[in-house]
Structure 1
Amino acid sequence: MAIHLEGRHFLKELDFTAEEFRGLIDLAARLKAAKRAGAEVRLLRGKNIALIFEKSSTRTRCAFEVAAADQGASTTYIDPSGSHIGSKESAKDTARVLGRMFDAIEFRGDAQATVEELAQYAGVPVYNGLTDDWHPTQMLADVLTMTEHTDKPLQEIAYAYLGDARLNMGNSYLVTGALLGMDVRIVAPRAYWPAPAVVDRARALAEVSGARITLTEEIAEGVPGADFVATDVWVSMGEPKEVWDERIADLGPYSVTMDVLRATGNPDVRFLHCLPAFHDLGTSVARGIHDRHGLTELEVTDEVFESPHSVVFDEAENRMHTIKAVLVATLAPVGSPADPADRPLPAVGQPVSRSAAGSRRPAAPCPTSGRSAGTPAGRGGRGSR
Structure 2
Amino acid sequence: MPADFSGPQDAAALVLQARALAGAGEAARQLLNGKNLALLSPSKDDQSASEFVQAAAALGAHVSLVQPGLDARSSARQVEDTARMLGRLYDAVECQHLPAALVQRIARSAGIPVFAGLATAAHPTTALAAELDGDASPADKRRRILQAALIVSMA
TM-score of the aligned structures, taking structure 1 as reference length: 0.35
- Structure 1 residue 112: deviation in Å? 1.0
- Structure 1 residue 19: deviation in Å? 2.1
Residue 33 to residue 142, structure 1, CA distance change in 2 (3 Å) = farther
How many angstroms apart in 2 are the aligned matches of 1:21 and 1:69? 23
- Structure 1 residue 317: deviation in Å? 3.0
State the partner residue of 1:318.
141
Q: Given the alignment of the two structures, is residue 10 of structure 1 paired with residue 3 of structure 2, yes or no?
A: yes
Amino acid at match of 1:64: F
- Structure 1 residue 115: deviation in Å? 1.2
CA contact (8 A) 2:5 2:11 kept: no
TM-score of the aligned structures, taking structure 2 as reference length: 0.79
Q: Given the alignment of the two structures, is residue 116 of structure 1 paired with residue 104 of structure 2, yes or no?
A: yes
- Structure 1 residue 45: deviation in Å? 2.0
- Structure 1 residue 316: deviation in Å? 3.0
CA contact (8 A) 1:31 1:321 kept: yes
Amino acid at match of 2:143: M
CA contact (8 A) 1:12 1:135 kept: no
- Structure 1 residue 34: deviation in Å? 2.3
**Structure 1 runs of 4+ with >4 Å offset:** none
Map 1:217-256 onto structure 2 (within 5 A): none
Alpha-carbon RMSD across the aligned residues, in angstroms, is 3.0
Equivalent residue for 1:49, pick from 24, 37, 44: 37
How many angstroms apart in 2 are the aligned matches of 1:319 and 1:62? 13
State the partner residue of 1:331.
154
Q: Deviations over 1:358-378 (max 9, x none)?
A: xxxxxxxxxxxxxxxxxxxxx
Partner-residue secondary structure (3-state), 1:76: strand
Q: Deviations over 1:55-97 (max 9, x none)?
A: 666432222212222222111012xxx3211267733322111
The structure carrying a bigger helix percent of its residues is: 2
Q: Given the alignment of the two structures, is residue 143 of structure 1 paired with residue 128 of structure 2, yes or no?
A: yes
How many angstroms apart in 2 are the aligned matches of 1:67 and 1:128? 16
Structure 2: gaps (5+ residues): none
Relative contact order: is structure 1 or structure 2 higher (C-alpha 8 Å, sep ≥ 6)? 2
Map 1:1-385 onto structure 2 (within 5 A): 9-11=2-4, 13=6, 16=7, 18-35=8-25, 38-40=26-28, 42-54=30-42, 58-78=46-66, 82-86=67-71, 90-129=78-117, 135-136=122-123, 139-148=124-133, 314-332=137-155
Paired residues, what number?
151
Residue 58 to residue 146, structure 1, CA distance change in 2 (3 Å) = farther
Structure 1: gaps (5+ residues): 1-7, 150-312, 333-385
Higher-Rg member (1/2): 1
